[in-house]
């Protein structure tokens, strides 16, 4: 039994400094990105509230914060994962930077979309692709490109937002939908 205890203590004694160094390096890399993620998510929340007010969509604060907290958990987990991965790879990669910039781009698209929706501009990946196809050798029609921005879009956007948030608030209060 004396040998087992010695092996355990030796292994723990060797592993602990390595683990502490790894965690310290990871935390040093994570903190700036976590702050940036927090600011981007907060900006998305504020722009979403502004969009709802301008479109006249009633959104309960609990629903808005629940959605934001879900994003925060997902994005913070992503940041932690890519930072740990980057440190584990010896810091020679830019996995953390590109992983975090991907999240910022996704949220940036959401922020821009929230700002423009009350003006009838609905930005979607599909719409962006239409414009790209129109400008590319594929020569999409002008009508397809005009579908990105239309005055009639405001009512369609308002209806989608009402359906989205009314569905979520009903779901959040424990009511079941009947088919």
**Predicted pLDDT of residue 3:** 60
What pLDDT shows up at residue 139?
63
Look at residue 173 in the predicted model and tell me its pLDDT: 53
CB neighbours (10 Å) of residue 66? 14
Q: Report, as an integer, the average pLDDT of 58-87.
A: 88
**pLDDT beyond 70 at 1:** no
With beta carbons less than 8 A apart as the criterion, state whether 121 and 153 touch.
yes
**Angle between helices 153-172 and 2-55 in degrees, nearest 10:** 130
pLDDT averaged over every residue in the chain = 80
Question: For the residues of the chain, what is the DSSP string, one character each?
Answer: -HHHHHHHHHHHHHHHHHHHHHHHHHHHHHHHHHHHHHHHHHHHHHHHHHHHHHHT----HHHHHHHHHHHHHHHHHHHHHHHHHHHHTTT-S-HHHHHHHHHHHHHHHHHHHHHHGGGTB---HHHHHHHHHHHSTT---HHHHHTTB-TTHHHHHHHHHHHHHHHHHHHHTTPPPP-
pLDDT for position 176: 47
Short-list 37, 61, 41, CA closest to 49: 61
Q: Tell me the mean pLDDT in the region 46-53.
A: 91
Distance separating alpha carbons of residues 86 and 29, to the nearest angstrom: 9
| Overall pTM surpassing 0.85 (yes/no) | no
pLDDT band, residue 39 (cuts 50/70/90): very high
The answer, yes or no, to whether residue 14 has pLDDT greater than 90, is: no
For residues 80 and 132, which has the higher predicted lDDT (pLDDT)? 80
Residue partners of 110: CB distance under 8 A and separation at least 6: 44, 47, 48
Task: Please state, in angstroms and rounded to a whole number, the distance separating the CA atoms of residues 87 and 17.
Answer: 15
Q: What percent of the chain has pLDDT over 70?
A: 75
Q: Is the pLDDT of residue 128 over 50?
A: yes
pLDDT in tens, 147-176: 555 556 677 778 888 888 777 666 655 444
């Amino acid at each position: 039994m004396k040998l087992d205890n010695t092996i355990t203590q030796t292994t723990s004694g060797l592993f602990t400094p390595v683990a502490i160094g790894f965690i310290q390096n990871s935390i040093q890399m994570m903190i700036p990105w976590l702050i940036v993620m927090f600011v981007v998510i907060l900006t998305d929340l504020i722009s979403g509230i502004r969009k709802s007010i301008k479109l006249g969509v009633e959104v309960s604060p609990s629903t808005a914060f629940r959605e934001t907290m879900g994003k925060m958990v997902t994005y913070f987990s992503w940041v932690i994962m890519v930072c740990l991965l980057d440190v584990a790879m010896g810091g020679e990669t830019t996995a953390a930077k590109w992983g975090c910039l991907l999240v910022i781009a996704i949220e940036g698209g959401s922020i821009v979309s929230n700002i423009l929706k009350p003006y009838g501009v609905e930005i979607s990946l599909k719409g962006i692709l239409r414009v790209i196809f129109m400008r590319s050798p594929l020569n999409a029609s002008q009508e397809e490109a005009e579908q990105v921005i239309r005055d009639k879009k405001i009512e369609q956007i308002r209806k989608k937002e009402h359906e989205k948030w009314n569905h979520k608030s009903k779901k959040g209060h424990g009511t079941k939908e009947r088919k």
